[in-house]
Chain A
Amino acid sequence: MTLVETHLKRRTILKGGAAALATLSAPAVLRAAEPAPIKVGILQPVTGALAQDGEYGRLGAELAIEDINKAGGIKSLGGAKLQMVFGDARSNPEAGTQEVERMQEEGVIGIVGGFASPICLAASQAASRYDLPYLVDVGVSDQITGRGLKNTFRFAPGFSICTAAAIQNLVRINEAAGKPAKTVALVHEDGLFGSGLAKLMATELPKYGFEILDQIAVPTPSRDLSNVTLRLRSLNPDLIIPSTYYGETVLLARTMQQQRVRPKAVYAVLNGAASNRRFVAEFPEAAEGVMDCNHWYDPRNAKSQAVQARVEAAGKPYNYNIPLNYSSVGLLADALERAGAAERGKVIEALNTSTFKDHLMPYGETKFVNGQNMGAAPVSTQVQKGQIKVVYPSDFADAKPMFPANG
């Protein structure tokens, strides 16, 4: 009897299961009218040393995907929605590469992000094996777009564009103020980004009459920067140009404030803190007057203002990673729209001929040459009364430069 009962029960369950399956499959039939979502890989370091930047980058990409989907998805593909496949690059290139492999298996149409140069270098290389479009969000190393990879694009300015702009902006700002700054001390992190930048500045700045007093390399993380500050105090340069990540810039600025090192100006280049609202909020005195030549959004752009309001309403600072990733996802969506097919080759082709302008940055239309957007440029910012203002070039400026910042 028991056996029969069990048998019966099993049958009942099977019947029930079949009915349930039929019910479940019904919406699937209905859904078939809507095209399958397009998977987009978002790669950011959200754990490890660069996690803070990675979080901002992810937020920018998420907001962009949300907005694109709300606006009806990719219209040329029947309104297909974008679906984020997120990968944590864990602040190192190996993890970044692993995540690219995983995203490849999940069938993404392209990857956006990477943040740090070493991660972008490795991840874009890995993506190139699959002809997978890769859009670098920040990674400034010139090598990234200089290797002739067909799949790699950078919407933002690279290293040489940034340095050239930083020098040009500095020279103009200094000239306009009657050339008060003559001597320079460079403080840089000792990795690929900081050392390369310091080397370039040390060769270029003397051509404009600046004298380089010293180049001081600091490790990341640094435990103590009292000695660096001590050296700066003894050198007494007119200008200090720091190219360091967040923690070290904060440490340097605090120690300088404490040790009363007050150069005519602190003019950072691609700095990890000087254009970070958290730094300004937490150390208003140390941050006041600090200038930076960096990625920044167009403060006059209405769309950017709207995104900024949303980010700030959520209690987060509107740092440059957000508009950069927002714009990069927009660029990919625009390419998909024009490609009219979720095919990698066609998307790459569409990116190559991109004239994207619906972005949040102070750039014109996108124009890619060997994967680098030639329309991209950084701006010079300055912390003025607790606010980060664009001070140069004047086309995008929302304040005048305060130079020299200290008497």
Chain B
Amino acid sequence: MYSPTILIEAMINGLLTGAIYALIALGLTLVYGVLHIINFAHGAILASAMFAVWGLNVLGGIDPYLSILFLAPVFFALGYGVQRLIIGPAAKDDDGNILLITLGLSIFIENALLAGFGSDTRSISSDFSFSVVEAGPFLISSPRLVGFAGSLVVTALLWFIMSRTDAGKAIRAVAKEKLGASLMGIDVGHVYALTFGLGCAALAVAAGLLMPTFYVNPRVGGAFVNIAFTIVVLGGMGSIPGAMIGGLLIGLVESLSGLLLGESLGQIGIFIIFILVLLLKPTGLFGAKA
């Protein structure tokens, strides 16, 4: 029905988009893996990061990619603060509070964005947004290629932090055995905040990579967060390579099933895979055994 050229281009599109999905899922999987909380505010934080990228571009003329350098540390600090000042204290009394806190945070951020920016959909437009790389018969979107590369770099960086640095080792120790880690002198509260901060920083990077091709409005997080949850479960909760492979796989499946079954049914392919994984390997592709 479709020529091989179209099928291949759809696959390329899927992989490129999947890498961005992976980056969004990365923060979610990290926070789940370490703090064991499902962060419902993930989408709203992404939306606020996208607004920040948009704002820097429109008001300060700063390139979306350049703004990552500034926003990643800012969002890291914000995430660190939110965990330390809001989520952490709430979790002390009852773990169940956290779900409500993150849900409340999500509603708060969304409405703050609505009050601040209004409901309009906004985008950044530059010549680069429309540029393509011609590879033989394929037209590959340049911003998506940059997004793909950026996403791989962040994943590698995060993997390096987790496996090679003291902070990473502390995070892994807390994820594995909270009490044991604290007995060994690890400040668990600090590690939690560090993890939440890293998750938010990853979202800031994703926002910078998304904005040249996507639009932002206060509810935009919803478009990505469901897919991010699916990737987290698929890749294995808490697994960094799992998030990347899961993201690429979901991007690929969504793209191909969207092309073959129709865009509205593109989700079906994803959920078939999702259910299969839950049935055959409930811990996800890269998840540790429970």
Question: Which residues of A are at the interface with B, using a C-beta cutoff of 8 A?
Answer: 46-49, 51-52, 54-55, 190, 216-219, 221-228, 230-231, 234, 246-247, 250-251, 254-255, 257-260, 278, 282-283, 285
Contacts and interface: CB of A to CB of B under 8 A. Distances in A.
Contact of B130 (A225, A227, A258): A258
Interface in B1-50: 2-3, 6, 9-10, 13, 17
Contact of A216 (B13, B129, B262): B262
A344 to B, nearest CB: 32
Interface in B237-290: 255, 258-259, 262-264, 266-267
Contacts of B262: 216-217
Contacts of B263: 190, 216-219, 222, 225, 227-228
B120 interface: yes
B119 A55 contact: yes
A246 B132 contact: no
Contacts of A219: 263-264, 266-267
A224 B17 contact: yes
B3 A230 contact: no
Nearest to A283: B125
B231 to A, nearest CB: 13
Contacts of B159: none
Interface residues of B, number: 41
Contacts of A216: 262-263
30 contacts: A47-B111, A52-B120, A54-B119, A55-B119, A190-B263, A190-B264, A216-B263, A217-B264, A219-B267, A223-B223, A224-B17, A224-B255, A226-B13, A227-B263, A227-B266, A228-B263, A230-B6, A230-B13, A234-B2, A247-B121, A247-B217, A250-B123, A250-B215, A251-B215, A254-B123, A254-B129, A259-B132, A282-B123, A282-B125, A285-B130
B144 to A, nearest CB: 8
Given A218-B263, A230-B9, A52 B119 contact: yes
B259 A231 contact: yes
A233 B19 CA distance: 24
Given A52-B217, A258-B131, 8 more contacts: A47-B119, A51-B118, A218-B264, A219-B266, A226-B144, A230-B6, A234-B2, A259-B139
A43 to B, nearest CB: 16
Contacts of A283: 123, 125
Is chain A's interface secondary structure helix, strand, loop, or mixed overall?
helix
Interface string B202-244: 0000000000011101011011100100000000000000000
A234 B13 CA distance: 15
A246 B121 contact: yes
B130 A254 contact: yes
A46 B215 CA distance: 19
A224 B15 CA distance: 12
A230 B259 contact: yes
Contacts of B120: 52, 278
B141 interface: yes
- Please provide the 6 A-B residue pairs with the shortest distance between their CB atoms, ordered closest to farther: A51-B119, A226-B13, A190-B264, A221-B223, A217-B264, A218-B263
A256 B259 CA distance: 16
B113 to A, nearest CB: 11
Given A219-B264, A221-B222, A258-B141, A227 B119 contact: no
A250 B119 CA distance: 16
A257 B111 CA distance: 33
A191 to B, nearest CB: 10
Nearest to A219: B264
Contact of A257 (B10, B130, B264): B130
A226 B259 CA distance: 10
B267 to A, nearest CB: 8
Given A217-B263, A234-B6, A226 B141 contact: yes
Contacts of A49: 219
A218 B263 CA distance: 5
Contacts of B2: 234
Nearest to A228: B263
B112 interface: no
Contacts of B223: 221-223
Contacts of B10: 226-227, 230
